[in-house]
Structure 1
Amino acid sequence: MNAIGETDGVPRRRFVALSGALGAGVLLTGAGGGNAAAATSPVPTPDPCPTAPNPPGGPSPCPPSGLQGLCGSPADNDPLWQDVQYCTQGIVPPSGMRPTCLKTTPNHVVLHGRPETPHNYLLLPSCRITGIECPFLVTSTVANYWHEAWENARRGGDVPVQYPNIGLGINSRSARRLNQLHIHMAGVRDSTQRRLQALETAGRIAPQPSNWGDLQYQALVTGTLGSGDRTYRILRLDSLTQNLFALLNVNVVRRFGLNMADQTLIVVPKMAATGFTGTFYVLNSDSSLHDGTDTCDHLLVYT
């Protein structure tokens, strides 16, 4: 795709300017193949999962009205946004179909994914945010939706994903069907977990965000059955307390002249036989990579 491109009709340079102006306080750096295996592996005995607090001061502010062109208007009729409004304000969608609100907080709502399974959930902001292209996501005041997704999805969480290995993911603008930001909370196959750990052992996973886009940290990962191998930029983080959208914007999107709207982002907690190890693999891809992808659906297991 053209390196200049547009984000919902706004040139990439304007997105960069907007995100830079809004995100003066954003953290820029972080703390230090084959057939897919069947999903019948024993569930590891979970460790007590370390947690970190949500941003202080209560609910995060929402995007300012000046960003409605990029982040959506509260008057929009997107079905997922209507579901959020039902859960947070009791406004019944025009269709009359009331969603099952699994959890509602000042910052987010948790809904069932489709198809509805014990390992397919969605976390959506309570704010009107269309998707990954919204510049408000890279600012220092946005809620930490990735951390909140993990706190819900982990074993012992409020809406746990019942699967041996967990994955969190978000699609690019072109790959999604609905236009309210939603983080998929689903499963990943054992083979994906093993592949990522093998890459880490081989020194093929970036140890810090500034190296995230380096060629040596790009690797093929086999996804769900029939989806083939896809190339991802892979980073290891010791926590999800940082703003992953900001890390991606600074260390990949701006660095390589890409569009934020074109990116997919996936988080896979590293697991051992005793449970969660306390670290995370963060994968990013887009169509600018050879065998890249703009969707998280190749790695996540919904059915």
Structure 2
Amino acid sequence: MNDQQSVQEVPRRQFVALSGVLGAGTLLTGAAVMSGGTAAAANGVDAGPAPDACPTTPPPPGGASPCPPASLQGICGRPTDNDPLWHDVQYCTSGIVPPPPQTKPDCLKMTPNYIVLHGKPETTHNYLLLPTCRVTGIECPFLVTSGPANYWHEAWENARSGGDIPVQYPNIGLGINSQGARRYDQLHIHMAGVRASTQRRLQELESQGRMATSPSQWANPANQAAVTGSAGDRVYRVLRLPNLRDNLFGLLYANVVRPNSLNMADQTLIVVPKMTTTGFAGAFYVLNSDTSIHDGTSTCDYLLVYS
């Protein structure tokens, strides 16, 4: 489903203050941010190679405590919250029927850490991965710690060719919206398509050396570039990773948000696997943006293709 603006942003100082209740040792900063999974699939609408089955690595270990502590319920959500996607999670995990007029969802996959549902509109390239924990969204400080499961890795493993819920599209993209750009308040990673032109643009930027190749370079303005989507050109911070074994939320917070005094709640993240004519090329383009960038955006919907 396309997310749309509905909620107010969370001040950065509140994010930092609430992060502190987890203990300084649990916050992922610098090298401590490195841990974790693979991630996102790749590309397009106008054309593009059909992705081959690609080699995978064993999933990275999940966190020792995969759900936010009760002390963070004020910002990460309470189990009693009335949110449609959270009702869907409760139905799939506990059989609790959603209140009318909401209908029962199709629980496409259920695991201890996440479930997969159809997005709206229902197509073969529009799915959602949601934590089984109560997590409102990207603003939850728990996401940047070593606790949560690697949801990006799991989304890629499901969406890729040969995955349990493969995205049937020439190119695949994974994305999450900012707090202000989403419609529902249960964390959900979109598993959808992206245009072949997006894939080509990212490979062009890579060949020109116009993207970060390490997280520490991600916030450098030299690694910002315009990418054309459904609403014209928008500017993104572009990072190339060899895998998704790191916690992307933690990488974003430690290397972009905190050093530049930004709001985590304002950020969008998009992952596009690199593809060639022979299939997955073993690397991922990770795009981040927010409205602090000139011509930036806080939504992933401009690049993902749902219908």
TM-score, normalised relative to structure 2: 0.89
Whether the aligned pair in 2 keeps the contact of 1:123 and 1:183 (CA below 8 Å) is: yes
Task: Return the offset for 1:7.
Answer: 1.8
Task: Return the offset for 1:77.
Answer: 1.1
CA 1:177–1:210 in 2, change beyond 3 Å: closer, same or farther? same
Structure 2 counterpart of 1:84, which letter? V
Whether the aligned pair in 1 keeps the contact of 2:194 and 2:303 (CA below 8 Å) is: yes
Equivalence for 2:3? none
Aligned-partner Cα distance in 2 for 1:53–1:280: 16
Q: Give SS of 2:33's match.
A: coil
Count of residues in correspondence between the two structures: 291
**CA displacement 1:64-114 (0-9 Å, x = unmatched):** 100000100001110000000000001000125110000000000100000
Aligned-partner Cα distance in 2 for 1:291–1:19: 35
Could you tell me which of 137, 162, 166 is aligned with 2:168?
162
The reply on whether 1:248 has 2:252 as its aligned counterpart is yes
Structure 2 counterpart of 1:178, which letter? Y
> Can you give the 5+ residue segments of structure 2 that lack an aligned partner in the other structure?
1-7, 37-42
Could you tell me which of 179, 183, 194 is aligned with 1:177?
183
The reply on whether 1:89 has 2:94 as its aligned counterpart is yes
**CA displacement 1:198-220 (0-9 Å, x = unmatched):** 00000011010000010110000
Q: Give SS of 1:130's match.
A: coil
CA 1:17–1:302 in 2, change beyond 3 Å: closer, same or farther? same
Task: Return the offset for 1:264.
Answer: 0.2
Could you tell me which of 115, 130, 134 is aligned with 1:128?
134
Aligned-partner Cα distance in 2 for 1:296–1:25: 24
Could you tell me which of 289, 292, 296 is aligned with 1:288?
292
Task: Return the offset for 1:275.
Answer: 0.3
Equivalence for 2:4? none
Task: Return the offset for 1:8.
Answer: 6.9
CA 1:38–1:181 in 2, change beyond 3 Å: closer, same or farther? closer
Equivalence for 1:61? 66
Structure 2 counterpart of 1:17, which letter? G
Query: Runs (4+) of structure 1 moved beyond 4 Å?
Result: none
The reply on whether 1:279 has 2:280 as its aligned counterpart is no
Structure 1 counterpart of 2:235, which letter? T
Q: Give SS of 2:175's match.
A: strand
Could you tell me which of 60, 64, 79 is aligned with 1:74?
79
Aligned-partner Cα distance in 2 for 1:43–1:263: 30
Aligned-partner Cα distance in 1 for 2:263–2:296: 14
Equivalence for 1:141? 147
Same amino acid, percent of matched pairs? 64
**CA displacement 1:136-187 (0-9 Å, x = unmatched):** 1011121000000000100000000001110000000000010000000000
Whether the aligned pair in 2 keeps the contact of 1:153 and 1:161 (CA below 8 Å) is: yes
Equivalence for 2:106? 100
Q: Give SS of 1:296's match.
A: coil
Aligned-partner Cα distance in 2 for 1:99–1:270: 32
Aligned-partner Cα distance in 2 for 1:186–1:105: 20
User: Which has the higher mean CA deviation after the structures are superposed, 14-23 or 127-136?
Assistant: 14-23
TM-score, normalised relative to structure 1: 0.90
CA 1:191–1:18 in 2, change beyond 3 Å: closer, same or farther? farther
Aligned-partner Cα distance in 2 for 1:143–1:254: 22
Alignment of 1:107-122 (within 5 A): 107-122=113-128
Equivalence for 1:261? 265
Structure 1 counterpart of 2:67, which letter? C
Could you tell me which of 1, 4, 7 is aligned with 2:10?
7
Task: Return the offset for 1:288.
Answer: 0.1
Whether the aligned pair in 1 keeps the contact of 2:15 and 2:139 (CA below 8 Å) is: no
